[in-house]
Amino acid sequence: MTPFFSIIIPLYNKEKYIQKTLKTVINQTFNDFEIIIINDGSTDNSINEVKKIDDSRIKVFNQQNQGLSWARNNGIEKSVGRYIALIDADDFWLPHHLNQLFHLIKQYPKAGLYSTGYTLQKSKHIVHRAKFNNLPENFKGIVPNFFKCSLQNCIAWVGSICIPKNVFNDIGNFDPEIFSEQDTDLYIRIALKYEVALDDSSVSAIYNRTMDDNMSNFSQKKTIPKLLYTYKNIESTDYYLKKYLDLNRFSTLIFFKLSSNKELEKILIKDIDLNNLNKLQRILIYLPNNIVRFLFNIKTKFKLNPLFIFKPK
């Protein structure tokens, strides 16, 4: 019998989290699903942690380390469910997550992407609920404009969504050429062609951000992401897509400032319409890099909510 959901979990060196993540999946009140774990060449004890959980719905596949997009795409190809739900190996679901998505699908069967309310967990006691621009609290329905409504937190976060498998067949899977913005690229492709349904009436997914951001991680961005050039033609006629991507350009530019990549800073800032940024964002762009790094360390130390930076103009 075909499961309703196929749950894809890419796994790479998450031995500290994968058991807890899996338990939040297994303990769902809606249980018509398969779990596909793609082991992306883990070198720690992640797989041994998975083997400690006895559940016939778990299927494990191994691949050489190829990165997140290849792992997710491999899982999608191996899946048999009608809807693809995604969760990373260190994030968590509340027990009603799949049930909430199931009822959203039944209510809006023609949507191309479904999402629920989610929180960003910065520590055991510091949790920030995702806030969506221009939507009332506890919104449930078809999102009127995905890009406009994603100018604070994105409507879609990988651990809060599910996507009909036929949508992947239509628009393609995750782009493996995109290093760390592959999720955003997928959301854009879907939102340009399909309606997006959101149930923010309750939180059902937890984005685990308890690990401190490491300054050295930002040095991995050595080029301007492909995503920021892909939709240039459409941006010229879609005001909110342009604004949404300018905020992504702003975030990338801050990464370049943190890693002191002044050459890419200068190139990228030319593509940003500064009118799409708020006053604080414009100030940050022109601050000296050492001050930006200092402010970043303060934000990380005190687990501050980045929404005060991303408050729409």
pLDDT tier, 178 (very low <50, low <70, confident <90, very high otherwise): confident
Bigger pLDDT: 125 or 86? 86
Delimit the CATH 3.90.550.10 region(s) of the chain: 5-208
| Backbone dihedral angles phi then psi of residue 144, each to the nearest 5 degrees | -65, -35
Instruction: Report the amino acid identity of residue 88.
Output: D
Q: Is the pTM of this model over 0.85?
A: yes
- How far apart are the C-alpha atoms of 5 and 39, rounded to whole Å? 20
Q: What is the pLDDT of residues 35-64, one digit of tens each?
A: 999 999 999 999 999 999 999 999 999 999
pLDDT of 5-18, one tens digit each? 999 999 999 999 99
Residues 6+ apart with CB under 8 A from 8: 36, 38, 72, 75, 76, 79, 84, 85, 86, 87
Mean pLDDT of 92-96: 98
| Residue partners of 217: CB distance under 8 A and separation at least 6 | none
Q: Is 172 left (phi over 0), alpha (psi -120 to 50) or beta?
A: left
- For the chain, helix (H) and strand (E) counts, in that order, are 13, 10
> Could you tell me which residues come within 8 angstroms of residue 43 by beta carbon, excluding any fewer than 6 positions away?
13
Mean pLDDT, residues 186-210 = 97
Q: Which fold has domain 5-208?
A: Spore Coat Polysaccharide Biosynthesis Protein SpsA; Chain A (3.90.550)
Residue 216 has pLDDT above 60, yes or no: no
